């Protein structure tokens, strides 16, 4: 069974972006790039929430390279808008697939297929539905030393408690906490 990792950067007060989607506060360094590149080698599928994907598109990025990018959208209207935006690009991006079916059902099947790891990249709401369906195996965070005060939350309210086991905690230059937790079952 493929491992599903929730992998994100967050503020200490549980936000992944400012209210307007802004991520100017995100820290990037050689150290982060190295950890990220090493991790990305272990995955070949990315799960992205529609709102997060809108943010990517706004920055001119249609996919993360080297992996299949699955974009989840429950709203038919937003989905059609996404498809139009993608179709308007000069070159179609074959790495992107828009998923219209239920995220939990889709990911449950994806986990059973052969392949490398799967990472949930952005989308607190997507993470919530996958946690509630017990489909997330690992949580990898880069906790930034900041209280944003407001923004788009990482962890949303969930039906159940998820017990974790700390696997690793590394302090990066600048006081960033690179933590890895395994979901206990």
Contacting positions for a copy of itself (CB under 8 A): 12-14, 25, 131, 139, 145-150, 154-155, 157-166, 169, 171, 175-177, 179, 181
Residue 131: which H helix or E strand, with range? helix 124-132
The DSSP code for 7 is E
Residue 55: which H helix or E strand, with range? helix 50-58
- In the complex with a copy of itself, which residue's Cβ is closer, 12 or 37? 12
CB of 80 to a copy of itself, least distance (A): 33
Residue 91 CB neighbour total at 10 angstroms: 6
CB of 124 to a copy of itself, least distance (A): 10
- In the complex with a copy of itself, which residue's Cβ is closer, 92 or 175? 175
CB 18 within 8 A of CB 91: no
- In the complex with a copy of itself, which residue's Cβ is closer, 37 or 171? 171
CB of 127 to a copy of itself, least distance (A): 10
CB of 171 to a copy of itself, least distance (A): 5
Q: What is the spatial distance between Cα 9 and Cα 148, in angstroms, rounded to a whole number?
A: 13
Tokens representing residue 43 in the block: 């995955």
- Closest-CA residue to 7 (of 120, 103, 154): 120
- In the complex with a copy of itself, which residue's Cβ is closer, 121 or 131? 131
- In the complex with a copy of itself, which residue's Cβ is closer, 24 or 30? 24
Q: CA neighbours within 13 Å on the CB side: how many for 64?
A: 23
Q: What is the spatial distance between Cα 67 and Cα 102, in angstroms, rounded to a whole number?
A: 21
- In the complex with a copy of itself, which residue's Cβ is closer, 23 or 155? 155
CB of 162 to a copy of itself, least distance (A): 4
CB of 69 to a copy of itself, least distance (A): 26
Q: Reduced to 3 states, what is the DSSP secondary structure of residue 178?
A: strand
């Amino acid at each position: 069974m493929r491992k599903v990792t929730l992998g994100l950067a967050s503020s200490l007060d549980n936000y992944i972006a400012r209210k307007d989607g802004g991520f100017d506060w995100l820290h990037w360094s050689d150290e982060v790039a190295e950890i990220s590149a090493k991790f990305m080698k272990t995955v070949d599928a990315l799960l992205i929430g529609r709102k997060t994907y809108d943010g990517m598109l706004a920055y001119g990025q249609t996919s993360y390279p080297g992996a299949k990018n699955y974009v989840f959208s429950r709203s038919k209207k937003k989905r059609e808008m996404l498809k139009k935006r993608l179709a308007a690009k000069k070159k179609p991006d074959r790495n992107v697939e828009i998923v219209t079916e239920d995220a939990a059902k889709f990911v449950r099947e994806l986990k059973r297929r052969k392949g490398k790891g799967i990472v949930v990249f952005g989308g607190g709401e997507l993470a919530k539905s996958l946690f509630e369906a017990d489909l997330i195996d690992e949580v990898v965070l880069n906790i930034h030393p900041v209280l944003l005060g407001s923004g788009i939350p990482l962890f949303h309210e969930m039906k159940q408690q998820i017990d974790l086991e700390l696997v690793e905690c590394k302090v990066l230059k600048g006081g960033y906490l690179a933590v890895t937790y395994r979901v206990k079952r």
